[in-house]
Amino acid sequence: MTPVKEVEEVTMTAAVNGEVQVLPLSLSSAEVRLSTGGARTSIGKVSSKEGRWYWQHRDGEQSSPFAANRAEAANALAAYHRAFKAPPPPAAPVRRLLFG
């Protein structure tokens, strides 16, 4: 009897919540996208190591393996991105006197 290796194709996308989208790349990694004003932007990826999931932001920051599942790691990456990498709010318009 020869052993049979099971191959699982991972092709679907999964929305963790309304703003975070997880695109599986393999059984142990996925790309994470965040909805920003209607457009989806890739903010990094999540991967597993020894049964625990960690995130890596697109700028190179990386967590230690902490999460029990892919969704938990993706949400943590999104929270990190919102807290530390989100663009600053637009500046208030400058008010000038017309006469003066």
pLDDT of residue 8: 38
Q: Domain coordinates of the chain in residue numbers?
A: 14-83
List, for residues 20-32, the tens digit of each pLDDT value: 999 999 999 999 9
Instruction: Name the pTM for this structure.
Output: 0.71
Residue 38, pLDDT > 90, answer no
Could you tell me the pLDDT band of residue 15, with boundaries at 50, 70 and 90? low
pLDDT of residue 29: 98
Integer Cα distance of 23 and 35 in angstroms? 13
What would the two tokens of residue 85 be? Answer: 């990498």
